[in-house]
């Protein structure tokens, strides 16, 4: 075999080896990207699926659907309006926790609609939110479940208090304000409301 032929064979072998390695690493890289994107939602979907491939296919489909949504950020005026409405929900919790939870859930749905998310189905809401708001999603599920049982008088006040906090985490993430900013805005809104009432 000539030297040129030997070189060609070596190149082919090297290229083939690189392709094989790349193909072997591809699923691992895809898994890592999905895990980074979805966080705890990745593990939850994996637990419920029959296989990793099925779970990752579902998450990939969520990404595709999400990319087709016409989403937008809320304006500062809209953020202020939602902050005021949230402050009202928190005040309502003192007298009627179950109703406050129901209103918190409705307020989140309204905020989703204003952002451009479809809101016809709770399961679809969760799937759509998981793409960009995966971190507080477990809390949202827990709060939604407690709110449903609260309407039937099946949960304690402490459970409902935990649920309103869980709702608040997703609310702040969805509306586009961080936790500290949301707390400050809510406190200022409540203070302004009390000052107006006292006049």
Q: Which domain holds residue 140?
A: 76-198
Task: Looking at 39-156, list the stretches that DSSP marks H as alpha helix, in order from N- to C-terminal side.
Answer: 40-48, 52-67, 76-95, 97-115, 122-132, 137-150
Is the domain of 87 the same as that of 62? no
Give me the mean pLDDT over the 55-84 stretch.
Answer: 94
Is the domain of 61 the same as that of 21? yes
pLDDT band per the 50, 70, 90 thresholds, residue 24 = low
Is the domain of 180 the same as that of 89? yes
Is the domain of 105 the same as that of 47? no
Hey, CA dihedral for 181, 186, 192, 194, is it positive or negative? negative
C-alpha span between 93 and 160 (Å, rounded): 9
DSSP 68: T
Is the domain of 82 the same as that of 128? yes
Q: Determine the distance from the C-alpha atom of residue 117 to the mean position of all C-alpha atoms in its chain, rounded to a whole number.
A: 12
pTM of the shown model: 0.73
Q: Would you say how long the chain is, in residues?
A: 199
Is the domain of 95 the same as that of 23? no
Is the domain of 50 the same as that of 31? yes
Give the residue from 42, 67, 92 where a domain finishes.
67
DSSP 18: H
Is the domain of 97 the same as that of 36? no
Is the domain of 62 the same as that of 159? no
pLDDT band per the 50, 70, 90 thresholds, residue 22 = low
Q: What percent of the chain has pLDDT over 90?
A: 61
pLDDT at 106: 94
160 token code pair: 């409902």
Give me the mean pLDDT over the 19-43 stretch.
Answer: 74
pLDDT digits (tens, 9 = 90+) for 102-147: 999 999 999 999 999 999 899 999 999 999 999 899 999 999 999 9
C-alpha span between 104 and 88 (Å, rounded): 10
Check whether 196 has a pLDDT greater than 50.
no
Q: What percent of the chain has pLDDT over 70?
A: 77
> How far is the CA of 10 from the CAs of 1, 20, 132, in angstroms?
12, 15, 46
**CA contacts within 13 A on the Cβ side of 51:** 3
Is the domain of 41 the same as that of 109? no
Give the residue from 67, 96, 116 where a domain finishes.
67
pLDDT at 28: 62
Q: For helices 76-95 and 179-198, give the axis angle rounded to 10 degrees.
A: 70
If one compares 167 and 26, the residue with the highest pLDDT of the two is 167
Q: Structural domain tally of the chain? A: 2
Is the domain of 177 the same as that of 108? yes
pLDDT band per the 50, 70, 90 thresholds, residue 199 = very low
181 token code pair: 């900013």
Reduce the secondary structure of 135-163 to three states and give it as a string: CCHHHHHHHHHHHHHHCCCCCCHHHHHHH
Is the domain of 112 the same as that of 155? yes
């Amino acid at each position: 075999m000539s030297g040129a032929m030997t070189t060609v064979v070596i190149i082919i072998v090297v290229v083939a080896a690189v392709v094989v390695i790349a193909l072997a690493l591809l699923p691992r890289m895809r898994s890592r990207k999905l895990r980074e994107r979805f966080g705890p939602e990745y593990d939850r979907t994996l637990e419920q699926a029959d296989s990793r491939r099925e779970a990752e296919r579902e998450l990939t489909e969520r990404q595709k659907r999400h990319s087709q949504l016409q989403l937008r950020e809320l304006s500062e005026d809209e953020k202020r309006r939602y902050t005021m409405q949230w402050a009202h929900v928190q005040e309502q919790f003192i007298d009627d926790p179950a109703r406050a939870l129901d209103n918190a859930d409705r307020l989140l749905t309204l905020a989703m609609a204003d952002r451009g998310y479809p809101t016809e189905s709770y399961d679809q809401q969760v799937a759509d939110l998981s793409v960009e708001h995966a971190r507080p999603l477990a809390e949202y599920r827990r709060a939604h479940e407690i709110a449903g049982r609260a309407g039937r008088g099946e949960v304690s006040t402490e459970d409902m208090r935990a649920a309103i906090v869980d709702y608040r985490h997703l609310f702040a993430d969805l509306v586009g304000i961080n936790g500290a900013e949301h707390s400050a805005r809510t406190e200022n809104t409540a203070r302004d409301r009390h000052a107006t009432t006292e006049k």
